[in-house]
Amino acid sequence: MNINKLRKRLLLSDQLLIVLTILLLGIFRPDIVLIISYFILIIYLLITKRKLLLFHLAISSFLSLLWLLISYQEYNYNQDFLIILNFNIFPFFSFSLGLFALYLIYSHYEYKLKNKSYLRKLLLIILIYFPLLIIVETIAYHLFNIQNLASKIYAGLPFCNCLHAQRWMQIFYFLMGPFYFTIIYFLKINNIYLKKISKK
- Per-residue pLDDT of 64-79, as tens digits, reads 999 999 999 999 999 9
Find, among 80, 65, 73, the residue nearest to 146 by Cα.
80
The region of weakest confidence among 60-64, 158-162, 177-181 is 158-162
Q: What is the model's pLDDT at position 198? A: 46
| Phi, psi of 87, deg, nearest 5 | -105, 125
At residue 77, the 3 state secondary structure works out as: strand
Structural domain for 177, as ranges: 3-198
Q: Tell me how far apart the alpha carbons of residues 154 and 164 are, in angstroms, rounded to a whole number.
A: 5
Q: What is the model's pLDDT at position 111? A: 77
Q: What is the per-residue pLDDT across 106-116, written as a single tens digit (0 to 9) for each? A: 988 887 887 78
| Contact of 103 with 180, CB cutoff 8 Å | yes
Could you give the number of structural domains in the chain? 1
Q: What is the model's pLDDT at position 123? A: 95
Find, among 139, 127, 169, 135, the residue nearest to 152 by Cα.
169
Q: Tell me how far apart the alpha carbons of residues 112 and 101 are, in angstroms, rounded to a whole number.
A: 19
Q: Which residues contact 40 (CB under 8 A, 6 or more apart)?
A: none
Query: What's the pTM?
Result: 0.91
